[in-house]
Amino acid sequence: NYHVVLAENRKLYNEVQDLKGNIRVYCRIRPFLPGQNQNHSTIEFAGEDGELIVNNPIKQGKDSRKLFKFNKVFSQAASQEEVFKDTQPLIRSVLDGYNVCIFAYGQTGAGKTYTMSGPSLSSKSDWGVNYRALHDLFHISHSRRSSIMYEIGVQMVEIYNEQVRDLLSTNGPQKRLGIWNTTQPNGLAVPDASMHSVNSMTDVLELMNIGMTNRATSATALNERSSRSHSVLSIHVRGNDLKTNTLLRGCLHLVDLAGSERVDRSEATGDRLKEAQHINKSLSALGDVIFALAQKSSHVPYRNSKLTQLLQSSLGGQAKTLMFVQLNPDVASYSETISTLKFAERVSGVELGAARSNKEGKDVRELMEQVASLKDAIARKD
């Protein structure tokens, strides 16, 4: 019957997710903005199967084209809803006790905030991954409430020049935070930031107002500052299984990273140079950690930045990681696009390529086929 099919479908789907490896990289190409010349794109091809071809605007011949491969590529036309759909299984696994980190990486203006938060909160169709995730977690946790009672708490911090600040503090944003290394039952290190219990999107939207006010009062030019700091929204889930009386905990970190653009050292001075150095250092530290995890290296260098320290318990081990690599297709961004893609290649290349045996590849394909046929069966029942 329907429920058996559904349960089986879910099980198979989870197996597929697990087989896929713990580090996933999705690429999203931002559309041209009004006034940008659409003919000046560096992206030659972006395919369903995760392939992307980038064209060097000043070179000719076969050397001018470079192929990159991702778990998934979202073209300019992809909606917020489509992007979320491919992220949803990962997000839901938090309710089963997994820790998940989702990052948006790319130069300023490439669409990181669009993907994570969305361009506005007033229209649901605009919502980015953060709000869709919370909405979905509320929905699923309510639907399970006869068997598991969930509590959901959120924290939001900003990391600017290697200092962590609580963005949801009701006493103003200025307090600098340490990072607790208290070991909770699941080994989570929680920053010393205020934790807010939430039950509905109304609660969340109210909190976000505090967050935005805190962010705004700590900087005169909000956009300037937000592109030079990392913002981390952490969703902590605690579920009490009523039948077995066991507790499960999961955590979802949603990270809008600082802009990855390189700053010309000959031009930047003072605060601007200091900011650039901090950003550079923390993004390389993140790259090093993910690279070490993908290599299954015995030493993972978490201690080199506040960001990786904060996320330590949710990076590696059983945790799942997803990186959105954001691209601006304009020719003027070509060299930043290449450097973004090189970062992506470094963090994903090993895990996606050599590390996966053919056997796994075959199992994934078989499972995918079974999932597809089960989905068809369900669709016919509806």
Annotated binding residues for ATP, as ranges? 106-113
User: Judged by CB, which is closer to ligand ADP: 21, or 111?
Assistant: 111
Query: Which parts of 20-39 interact with ligand ADP (CB under 6 A)?
Result: 30-31, 33
Query: Which parts of 316-335 interact with ligand ADP (CB under 6 A)?
Result: 326
Going by their DSSP bridges, the two strands 65-69 and 163-166 should be labelled as unpaired
Q: Does 108 bind ligand ADP (CB under 6 A)?
A: yes
How far apart are CB 167 and ligand ADP at their closest, in Å? 16
Select from Mg ion, ligand ADP, none the partner in contact with residue 57, using the beta carbon and a kind-dependent cut-off of 5 to 8 Å. Answer: none
Contact assessment for residue 192 and residue 155, using Cβ atoms and an 8 Å cutoff? no
Q: Does 211 bind ligand ADP (CB under 6 A)?
A: no
The number of residues that bind ligand ADP (CB under 6 A) is 15
Count CB neighbours of 29 within 10 A: 24
Q: Does 114 bind ligand ADP (CB under 6 A)?
A: yes
Select from Mg ion, ligand ADP, none the partner in contact with residue 238, using the beta carbon and a kind-dependent cut-off of 5 to 8 Å. Answer: none
Which is nearest to 360 in space by CA: 14, 71, 89, 21? 21
Select from Mg ion, ligand ADP, none the partner in contact with residue 42, using the beta carbon and a kind-dependent cut-off of 5 to 8 Å. Answer: none
Segment interacting with ligand ADP, rule: CB under 6 A, options 85-93, 109-117, 177-185, 367-375: 109-117
Supply 95's token pair.
Answer: 């309710």
Select from ligand ADP, Mg ion, none the partner in contact with residue 111, using the beta carbon and a kind-dependent cut-off of 5 to 8 Å. Answer: ligand ADP
Residues at the contact surface with Mg ion, assessed by CB under 5 A: 112-113
Grouping H, G, I as helix, E, B as strand and the rest as coil, residue 240 is strand
Radius of gyration of the chain (CA): 21
Question: What is the sign, positive or negative, of the torsion defined by CA atoms of 144, 148, 151, 152?
Answer: negative
Q: Does 260 bind ligand ADP (CB under 6 A)?
A: no
Query: Which parts of 151-210 interact with ligand ADP (CB under 6 A)?
Result: none
Dist. CA 124–CA 132, nearest whole Å: 9
Dist. CA 283–CA 138, nearest whole Å: 32
Tokens 């900003």 correspond to 158
